[in-house]
């Protein structure tokens, strides 16, 4: 595939080396998913030693917050997908608007997460409270860091969409893929931490 | 019905609602963990294949995503059953 083809947005996604977003971002996504997956397996193994403690600890979490945050991230992901769609259509104003909506979704997620963290700290449910909360804090905080990085990427993408006449679709797709990765990780964390124990 | 991005987000909302309802009313069922994780796996696939457009990617990437999910749901279900 020539550079001209890529610039003209004629990417052959069926080529193994050119998945949407590019191969590098997909290697990163796979590594992240394996890391979080391994941590969640460790959480499950650990829960077998004291299932009652995990059940009681899980009940101390507010699953409504978790569900609302799932809606925020999924909606944000939808707007991100629309952003990529409009960039491909060369409708950059619409793309920038959808990008902004995706950022708002991410900010709402962080706002609710901050409220949840505040309540947990107020009740003394900090990282050292028990093993469940050690996992809870490590996994969710690591995820929040990803959301913060993703928001930074989205912000620079927004600036780019406002200025560029023909944005590089590979860069837009790579940034969008990173943002969707935050959705994917959350879709694993939410049931594991808030629902199943 | 053709799966578009708009249909996908509606499916995702419905699945999230179903997960919330199921977790409230079916806690303790034999296959509770598998069903909850299965619903999440479907949401995961909808995001990956529709929003991230992996439905257009090489079959090996699609296989990797599905394989990861089967492995994840399978291992957790076995551990917690």
pLDDT of residue A182: 96
CA distances to A8, B6, B68 from B23, in Å: 47, 26, 23
- The tokens for A168 are 């590089």
List pLDDT tens digits, range A116-162.
999 999 999 999 899 999 999 999 999 999 999 999 999 999 998 88
For B11, nearest residue in chain A (alpha carbons):
A74
Query: Does A161 contact B at CB distance below 8 Å?
Result: no
What CATH number does residue A109 fall under?
1.20.120.80
Task: Determine which of B17, B25, B47, B71 to mutate to test the interface with A (most A C-beta atoms within 10 Å).
Answer: B47
Rounded CA separation A104/A119 (Å): 23
Which among A148, A12, A154 has a CA at the least distance from the CA of A83?
Answer: A154
Interface contact A71-B16, CB threshold 8 A:
yes
Mutual angle of helices A169-190 and A23-47, in 10-degree steps: 10
* Cα of A78 to nearest chain B Cα, Å: 7
Domain range enclosing A71: 62-197
Domain range enclosing B33: 5-80
Its ipTM equals 0.91
List pLDDT tens digits, range A62-112.
999 999 999 999 999 999 999 999 999 888 999 999 999 999 999 999 999
Rounded CA separation A192/A188 (Å): 6
Rounded CA separation B41/B36 (Å): 9
Within 13 Å of residue B10, how many CA atoms lie on the same side as its CB?
7
Instruction: Count up the domains in chain B and report the number.
Output: 1
Instruction: Count up the domains in chain A and report the number.
Output: 1
Instruction: Name the residue among B5, B23, B79 with its Cβ closest to that of A48.
Output: B79
DSSP structure string for B20-80: HHHHHH-TT-TTHHHHHHHHHHHHHHHIIIIIS-GGGS-HHHHHHHHHHHHHHHHHHHHHH
């Amino acid at each position: 595939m020539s550079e001209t083809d890529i610039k003209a947005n004629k990417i052959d996604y069926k080529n193994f080396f050119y998945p949407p977003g590019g191969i590098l971002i997909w290697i990163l996504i796979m590594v992240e998913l394996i890391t979080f997956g391994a941590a969640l397996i460790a959480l499950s193994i650990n829960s077998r030693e004291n299932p009652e403690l995990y059940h009681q600890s899980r009940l101390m979490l507010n699953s409504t917050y978790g569900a609302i945050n799932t809606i925020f991230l999924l909606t944000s992901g939808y707007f991100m997908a629309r952003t990529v769609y409009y960039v491909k259509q060369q409708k950059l104003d619409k793309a920038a608007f959808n990008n902004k909506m995706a950022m708002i979704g991410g900010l709402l997620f962080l706002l609710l997460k901050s409220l949840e963290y505040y309540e947990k700290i107020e009740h003394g449910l900090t990282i050292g409270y028990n093993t469940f909360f050690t996992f809870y804090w490590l996994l969710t905080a690591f995820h929040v860091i990803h959301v913060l990085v993703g928001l930074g990427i989205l912000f620079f993408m927004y600036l780019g969409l406002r200025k560029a006449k023909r944005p590089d679709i590979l860069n837009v797709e790579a940034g969008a893929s990173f943002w969707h990765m935050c959705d994917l990780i959350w879709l694993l964390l939410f049931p594991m931490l808030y629902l199943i124990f | 019905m053709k799966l578009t991005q708009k249909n996908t987000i509606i499916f995702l909302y419905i699945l999230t609602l179903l997960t919330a309802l199921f977790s409230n009313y079916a806690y303790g069922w034999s296959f509770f963990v598998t069903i909850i994780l299965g619903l999440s796996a479907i949401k995961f696939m909808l995001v990956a294949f529709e929003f991230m457009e992996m439905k257009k990617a090489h079959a090996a990437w699609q296989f990797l995503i599905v394989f990861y999910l089967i492995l994840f749901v399978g291992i957790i279900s076995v551990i917690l059953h």
